[in-house]
Amino acid sequence: MGRTRHIAEERADRIRRWSEELGFSAVGFSKAERLVGEELRLSQWLKEDRHGEMGYLERNFDKRLDPTLLLPGTRTVISLLYNHYTDVRQADPEAPRISTYAYGEDYHFVVKWKLKELLKWMRQDWGDIAGRVFVDSAPILERAWAARAGLGWIGKHGLLLNKNGGSHFFLGEILVDLDLPADVPKTDHCGSCTRCMDACPTGAIIRPQVVDGSKCISYFTIELKDALPEPMAGRFENWMFGCDICQEVCPWNRHAKPHEEPAFAAKPELLAMTRQDWTDLKEETFDALFRKSPVQRTGYTGLRRNIDFLDRKQEAN
């Protein structure tokens, strides 16, 4: 038993070293088992229709709670954080805003490649272990697993908060059939602070740790494919893709340090765009600015819709 535990701890230490080499900010381990505590919460959230038109969140309910249904034989969930914070901002303060995580290349590809590398190194050393990697692209409750692995706690805005860097992290997971020592969850350090809840212009944070996705600016500007609802006119705070308001007001993000990932650097021409440049945006310019970008998710038509929605409010004023 002692020998087995020693091997597991040695492997965990090696994974920590490898993940640091690949640029990850933190890594933690959880025993793979059904997230019983999340089941009622998820069920209630869906029942209250907090997911809006994101129908995919209703599918694969059991898989979201049980990682062994995603990879039979899974023993450990490895959770990792990858920093994307930047203090760089768009030059024109009047220009429609893009969430800073989308300034550079699509994180799905950047982070997933690194996770695949980490799994490859594990296999090179320990044989043909079963494993799968995930980055915001599968039915897995990433924040719940990251919190379980001791990488932080869930803030009132529903995001993972880490004492050393706030919330500006992409989350990734590797499911493996290895037994690795589980880390201890962190305690909540939000206290009585409600800055994120108070600052949300659409009232999307309905209670601590519960976000009505169908009211979130990120939902409207990215997920919603239909026309934007007129009652929301003037409440987007000039966001045309995503929203960072709840993160900007969070005291824990004072500890965030700029990332060192070249792929996440913003194109100078994107930062230099004025409000008028965005109003005049043509599809060829969109394609040049957002090749390999998360903004491709909404596409030219969706971004054009968002800009026009903001411009109508500007004209009304």
Q: Catalytic amino acids?
A: 136
Task: Note whether 246 and 160 are within 8 A (CB).
Answer: no
Task: Note whether 158 and 206 are within 8 A (CB).
Answer: no
Determine how many CB atoms are found less than 10 A away from the CB of residue 116: 13
Distance CA 246, CA 122 (A): 37
77-103 burial, b at 16+ Cβ within 10 Å, e below that, comes to bbbbbbbbbbeeebebeebbbbbbbbb
| Chain mean position to CA 159 | 8
The Cα diameter of the chain in Å comes to 72
Show the tokens assigned to 62. 């059991």
| CA dist 199 → 159, 209, 253 (Å) | 15, 15, 15
Show the tokens assigned to 56. 């995919």
Q: Are strands 169-176 and 76-83 parallel, antiparallel or unpaired?
A: antiparallel
